[in-house]
Structure 1
Amino acid sequence: MEFSNPYNPDDRDRDPFAEGLDDDPFADGPDGDPFEEEPTVVSDPDPEPDLGGEVPPPPPSRRRSGGSGGGSRRGGRSRSGAGGSGGDRQQLMVRRAIALGAGLLILILLVFGAKGCLDARKNRSLEDYANSVTQIVNETNALGKSFFGRLSDPGQLSVTEFTSEIQSDRSAMDGFLSRVEKLDTPGDMSSAQDSLTLVYELRASAMDEIADRMSTALGDEGADRARRQIAGQMEVLSAADVLYNRVTRHQIDNTIASNGASAPAMPVSTFMPDPAQWISVDSINSALDGVSGTTSDTPDDGLTHGTGIDPASSVTIGGTALSPDTTTTIAAGTDPTVDVTVQNQGTATESDVTVSVTVDGGNALEESIPEIAAGSTGTASIPLTPAPTGEVTLEVKVDAVPGESITTNNEASYTVDFG
């Protein structure tokens, strides 16, 4: 038996171990490098049949279907989906922008509308304030004309009558101060209101001092000193005029203008017509000398003359007694009438006793009692027209009768709320 030589490299036909081996196991290439990583082989789930060692190319239809065709369809769907999603997002953003713009526009309109309403309300309050001040100033000017007209020419007034008129003027000025303090003052007018209040505090204080010293100034004892004090208070009245005309009215006018409100220019306030005259003691002496003594209408009958009212019970409205110490409430919607009961406190019958009522220092409403017997009472009924509203100050006064020397009980003041 013959054996082939296993070490003979030329004997491949006989060497069963030489089949399929390369000559150089370390030759370059994927099949010859023992250290090269073998490619991963993925088995085809549907293997092609063996056609004798040759693998035909895949059919064209299968290549198109499995390769670029399928990829195109998937890619087409992806691009179409991305385009549609982007368009929807863009439309959503546009809608949001439109809604935001519309909301912002509405907000701006609401802000400007609210501001316009607030500005209009503010301007109305400024105009109402200016109109109220104008009314008070005009009435003050009228009072000053009456007061200094009486000083210049007392006519036939007796000492008692003259002092009674001065007391009435003082009450009127107190009423003006009360009205000023009760003004509904807008915030922008606070400085002007402070100035206006000071003006009327000066005027009311001066008129109080003048009225308190008038009886002494018209008498004998202490007359010179009282007249000098009256002249000094005239300087206070003059200073109040200057303060109003130089400061207060311009503050009001400037505030009206700066806010765009519409109101007439504030009037000049001239309570004292001729300061150079009335601050002089000589002028005061000349004026008061005209009312010194008594006049011919003073009765010379040896009787006592005088009237008075009881502040706690003499004045009623609709049966409700007014109190000088507390606020009395009267129902609104009625036609209020003030009933004033006057007592004859002398020993002589008095005729034509005049009773007057003022509301917040306004024009006096008067009524006369034809006759009151000695020791008796009489009542004057005075309708308040127009009917007041809200809280007001009522000043009730009984004019002095001829021969009456004490008038301190002839006046009373009440706070009434017509609510």
Structure 2
Amino acid sequence: MISFAILIVLLLVLWVNSCRESQRKDAYKSYISKVSDLATQSQGLGKRLNTLLTTRGTKEAQVEQELTGMAQLQEQQAARARQIDPPGRLRSQHQHVIEAFDLRVSGLNGMAAAFSSTASSKNSGQAGLDLAGQMKRLVASDVVWDDLFKEPTKKELEHQQITGVDVPDSVFIRNPDIATSTSMKAVWERIHGASTGGGTSSCSPRGTQIVSVTALPTHKDLSTSTTNTITTTSDLAFAVTVKDSGCAQEVRLPVRLSVQQAPTPLKGRLTIPLINTGEQQTVVFKNLGTYNFAKTTLTVDVEPVPGESNVNNNTAHYPVEFVLPTK
């Protein structure tokens, strides 16, 4: 009887410990789930901001209203983050979630105020500096999230042997290059021009051009004058470099690539969100489909921008021949 009683006690102890361990892991998983919801919502606001800043014809009053509304939504998310009670070993990391959200609230409100204060200004350089200062807060929020929340949280979960949990991303500014005073000056000029009846841009000439096409992963630069032999592999891709050769910042610039073949041509379409005058940007076309092993033509084109007069360099044709890999 005594040994049986001891066995019962041991089983009870093991059961209690197992329950505690399960509750401990559930607490971590529940916390990450709550933060993930907020991270996704905040990242969605970042996408809205990118759309706002890269839409032709948007007026200052619209921009200010949108920015204020986004700031209010982000402030609500920050308030919800403050209500979350994280597991003890993640308390310091959670403070950086709140810090990242607060930086986003500050940056959005600051941008709204900068647009409002420069509405009647003609000093685009100063407006660009003011806006870039606020954009840098948004870029900083991404650094805080990644370096002070995401990575330390991943390490702590590994240390606690918590598996099956993905610590979320929350990227607010996909392209940090937009946060420069040069980029924001051009953004302000475009939006300011729309508000004062100047359209998207009053400068001339405007234009874009195809710079080069490179086959990946071999990094073979394609020629427009001789046949380009291209080995078809599962990771074959094409990097298309485009230049803003005009006088104005351009936004939402469509780039297309096609390969002529029967019965159905291979086609792809990508968009450059924003490109500054004189700048080059590269888009990569992947997973276009199955290539026919034959000689054909690969064509790339960048859509002309409003007011572009020289469109001869917007399209390029490359003679190509797709072949099997050599053994």
TM-score (norm 1): 0.43
The reply on whether 1:138 has 2:40 as its aligned counterpart is yes
Aligned partners of 1:131 and 1:263 also within 8 Å: no
Aligned partners of 1:127 and 1:262 also within 8 Å: no
Aligned partners of 2:45 and 2:172 also within 8 Å: yes
Matches within 5 A, 1:25-64: none
Aligned residue pairs total 196
Aligned partners of 1:237 and 1:272 also within 8 Å: yes
Distance in 2 separating the partners of 1:222 and 1:288: 10
Cα deviation digits, residues 286-324 of structure 1 (max 9, x gap):
01111215377xxxxxxxxxxxxxxxxxxxxxxxxxxxx
Pick the aligned partner of 2:186 from 255, 263, 286.
286
Cα deviation digits, residues 102-130 of structure 1 (max 9, x gap):
44333322222111111111211211111
Answer 1 or 2: higher relative contact order, Cα 8 Å, separation at least 6.
2
Aligned partners of 1:235 and 1:279 also within 8 Å: yes
Aligned partners of 2:157 and 2:163 also within 8 Å: yes
- 1:213 maps to 114
Larger radius of gyration: 1
The reply on whether 1:186 has 2:87 as its aligned counterpart is yes
Cα deviation digits, residues 204-241 of structure 1 (max 9, x gap):
22222222222113331776545423211222221221
Matches within 5 A, 1:1-400: 99=2, 101-153=3-55, 155-220=56-121, 224-275=125-176, 277-292=177-192, 294=195
- 1:51 maps to none
Q: CA deviation at 1:179?
A: 1.8
Distance in 2 separating the partners of 1:214 and 1:103: 76
Q: CA deviation at 1:138?
A: 1.7
1:255/1:152 CA distance change after superposition, 3 Å: same
Three-state SS of the structure 1 residue aligned to 2:173 is: coil
Identity %: 20
Cα deviation digits, residues 150-205 of structure 1 (max 9, x gap):
1122x333221221111111112112211211123122221221222222222222
Three-state SS of the structure 2 residue aligned to 1:271 is: coil
Q: Which runs of 5+ in 1 are unaligned?
A: 1-97, 297-419
Aligned partners of 1:151 and 1:288 also within 8 Å: no
Aligned partners of 2:100 and 2:142 also within 8 Å: yes
RMSD: 2.3
Aligned partners of 1:130 and 1:263 also within 8 Å: no
1:151/1:129 CA distance change after superposition, 3 Å: same
Q: CA deviation at 1:284?
A: 0.7
Three-state SS of the structure 2 residue aligned to 1:290 is: helix
- 1:374 maps to none
Distance in 2 separating the partners of 1:158 and 1:279: 20
1:172/1:222 CA distance change after superposition, 3 Å: farther
1:108/1:226 CA distance change after superposition, 3 Å: farther
Counterpart residue type for residue 164 of structure 2: A
1:159/1:202 CA distance change after superposition, 3 Å: closer
Aligned partners of 2:86 and 2:94 also within 8 Å: yes
Cα deviation digits, residues 48-103 of structure 1 (max 9, x gap):
xxxxxxxxxxxxxxxxxxxxxxxxxxxxxxxxxxxxxxxxxxxxxxxxxx52x444
Aligned partners of 2:129 and 2:185 also within 8 Å: no
Distance in 2 separating the partners of 1:219 and 1:264: 51
Counterpart residue type for residue 178 of structure 1: A
1:174/1:222 CA distance change after superposition, 3 Å: farther
1:273/1:218 CA distance change after superposition, 3 Å: farther
TM-score (norm 2): 0.54
Aligned partners of 2:124 and 2:189 also within 8 Å: no
Three-state SS of the structure 2 residue aligned to 1:291 is: helix
